[in-house]
Structure 1
Amino acid sequence: MDEVLKIINDIKAGNIKPIYFLMGEEPYYIDRITEYLENNILSEAEKDFNQIVVYGVDTTVEDIVANAKRYPMMAERQVVIVKEAQNLVKTIDKLESYAENPQPTTVLVIAYKYKSLDKRKTVYKTIHKHGLVYESKKMYENQVGQWISRVLQGRGYSIEPKANAMLVAFLGNDLSRIANELTKLEIILPKGSTITPNHIEENIGFSKDFNIFEFRKAIGDKNQLKAYQIAEYFAQNQKENPMVLINGQVFSFFSGLLLYHGLKDKSPSNVAKVLRVSPYFVNDYIGAAKIYPMRKVSSVIATLRDIDVKSKGVGANALPPSDMLKEMLVKIFN
């Protein structure tokens, strides 16, 4: 995020590179930088003749270079934007000769999403030397909560820890999807508001009481009544709560619990780091470790692997999800 702000601040200051090669597994920041360049390098009047947007699936590197070598019309520079450039993966090396001597009056923006160039290749080194290469890496889930708080703070909002944890639990590290949901909340809530679990439930559709996050906590606390209530809710709402996802989340929790048992340093900060979870969830592991010793955790993991196979239709004779959930809880709690 700090690197993105630096790129944007440099552009605002007039320090504009001839090539922006934006790559990596996380598309969110690639899209944001591309969008900023698309909207802010040229004036609206200049864009008609000097801004070209093409898509990797519909163009070639040769065509991109030909466009980049053009001179601007009645403007200081032109902008050539290549979206979905990952479709040019087999021919992207051909960009090397242009990158060696880029047109100074052209800003070439290449959005190369979900992939990264091999940094050992000459084309990468050449672009890095004469332009700017930004790599957008996927965040770990334990980093996303902090990202949500920072984004909201920058927009004049705050969020309660449980609401933050709910977003991470349901949306994972998909920053684009999280950003879309936050935008919905900002439309509804006045600036200065604190986002609560109720706001998440009412406006995004995640139940604050009957969700996988509360299900895992109920299991971790060995709160059998609540766990069975949530399981019943899941069984009645299978479309929103597929068995494969439920089992995967519970498996992830017990796998983390197994790691926790093996830690020498059980400080909250180290637990969050090693387990790659939000600090909000650390107490769940600390509490569950007192209830489930390592041998029991290993047994539960074996059970969950068996249920995973059944949930995928292997040797289960079309066992309904409600029965698999009951089987899961019976074997965990016994």
Structure 2
Amino acid sequence: MDYKSAARDIGKGNVSPVYVCYGSESYLLREFIGYLTQKLVEPEYREFAVSKYDLTETSLDVVLDDAQTLPFMAPKKLIVAENATFFTGAKESGKVQHQPEKLLEYMKAPPEFSVVAFTVDAEKLDERKKIVKSLKEVTIPFLPMNAESLLQWVNKQAERRSFSFAEGAADQLILYTGGGLQTLAAEIEKLSLYVGPGGTVTGESVDKLVTRSTEQNVFILIDDIVRLRLNRAFAILYDLLKQREEPVKLVLLIARQFRIVLQVKELSKQGLSHQQMASQLGLHPYAVKVAAEQGQKFAPERLEHIMAQLAELDYRMKSGKVDKVLGLEMFLMRLAS
């Protein structure tokens, strides 16, 4: 079950007694729990009819006892049980031991007045476990969106706020934020206030307003170099240096990005999708998409040569054989040529 299908069913009144929500995209997961709360419990009852538990501190027995207790002053109740690691292959590190088989017993005759939503921050569940197999129909993944879905999500958020993006500006926003929905949502809200209802966000607006981390600036710097936008690339470099970023750190971040480009290039030969590569490399699918585009500009041998150049530059910087800023500038000039 995906979260959109689950939300549609909930909207129609078809609510399951239990949901198992997992994945690293916590923003979507929180939105889903918020939607479930909105549809299940009226605002005036939420203080009494919505309970939250941390399963690293509270046993599953307590959660199930609560679920079987009639709600106070409300027709239905919602119980959110976080950190349900017993659905994964990870060892439980909390001080509380759980007995998942009791949840299986509970599911044989769940009360109509309770809904229990289990959440866990994990990329996957342990499908060998009986509890995971038994609740497969009510298991909902919340994983990072692929590039196409992410762009649709950004444009939809803009539409909800009555503004639009100029051509390329939405892609630029995703590139600048790294594709995390929590960060994107905050930046979209900022841009919405800046342009106002009916306004249009341009690339210049994104440049002016969107906050970028050092890692993201390096990511953009390399993209600009690859696309031969040298003025922009060196402007980013000098901004980073003005912020007192250490050139050796920048070299390490540049090397990391080229390593990702090389890895993506090699994995693409195996026929893996961007989503599969992202999972294997521990990256956001959008970062994989950009790395794949960057990789089209370089042969594997060229990428390996660049990695060797960066290793040599790192050594020369640390041993004082080259001025750090000059060495970084010369590397970028050679890269662009």
Interval containing the TM-score (normalised by the shorter chain): 0.7 to 0.9
Is 1:277 paired with 2:289?
yes
Mapped to 2, the partners of 1:274 and 1:172 lie a distance apart of 7
Corresponding residue for residue 267 of structure 1: none
RMSD (CA atoms): 4.1
Is 1:93 paired with 2:96?
no
Is 1:156 paired with 2:162?
yes
3-state SS in 2 of match to 1:110: strand
Is 1:329 paired with 2:322?
no
Unaligned 5+ residue runs, structure 1?
A: 264-272
Mapped to 2, the partners of 1:28 and 1:318 lie a distance apart of 47
Corresponding residue for residue 15 of structure 1: 14
C-alpha spacing 1:202/1:316, structure 2 compared with 1 (3 Å): same
TM-score by length of 2: 0.73
Per the TM alignment, residue 156 of structure 1 is displaced from its structure 2 partner at its CA by 3.4
String of CA shifts for 1:213-252, please: whole Å, max 9, x gaps: 6532442255666644543332222459951434433554
Corresponding residue for residue 36 of structure 1: 35
String of CA shifts for 1:21-60, please: whole Å, max 9, x gaps: 1112222221111111223311123223322122233322
Per the TM alignment, residue 13 of structure 1 is displaced from its structure 2 partner at its CA by 1.7
Unaligned 5+ residue runs, structure 2?
A: 93-97, 271-284
**Pairs within 5 Å for 1:1-334:** 3-86=2-85, 90=92, 91=98, 93-94=100-101, 95-128=103-136, 132-140=138-146, 144-206=150-212, 211-212=217-218, 215-221=221-227, 227-239=233-245, 243=250, 244-253=252-261, 276-277=288-289, 282=293, 289=297, 295-306=301-312, 322-323=325-326, 325-326=328-329, 328-329=331-332, 331-332=334-335
Residues 300 and 331 in structure 1, CA contact (< 8 A), matched pair in contact too? no
Mapped to 1, the partners of 2:286 and 2:209 lie a distance apart of 33
Name whichever of 103-112 and 213-222 sits farther off: 213-222
Mapped to 2, the partners of 1:59 and 1:191 lie a distance apart of 46
TM-score by length of 1: 0.74
Mapped to 2, the partners of 1:220 and 1:200 lie a distance apart of 21
Mapped to 2, the partners of 1:192 and 1:125 lie a distance apart of 48
Residues 87 and 126 in structure 2, CA contact (< 8 A), matched pair in contact too? no
Per the TM alignment, residue 19 of structure 1 is displaced from its structure 2 partner at its CA by 0.7
Per the TM alignment, residue 77 of structure 1 is displaced from its structure 2 partner at its CA by 1.7
Residues 81 and 110 in structure 1, CA contact (< 8 A), matched pair in contact too? yes
Name the aligned partner's letter for residue 197 of structure 1.
G
Name the aligned partner's letter for residue 245 of structure 1.
L
Mapped to 1, the partners of 2:168 and 2:217 lie a distance apart of 12
Mapped to 2, the partners of 1:172 and 1:203 lie a distance apart of 15
C-alpha spacing 1:240/1:134, structure 2 compared with 1 (3 Å): farther
C-alpha spacing 1:35/1:293, structure 2 compared with 1 (3 Å): closer
Taking only the aligned residue pairs, the percentage that are identical comes to 19
String of CA shifts for 1:269-320, please: whole Å, max 9, x gaps: xxxx9994259x95x666xx3xx6664343123323555x659x9x656988
Mapped to 2, the partners of 1:40 and 1:318 lie a distance apart of 66
C-alpha spacing 1:146/1:249, structure 2 compared with 1 (3 Å): farther
Per the TM alignment, residue 258 of structure 1 is displaced from its structure 2 partner at its CA by 8.1
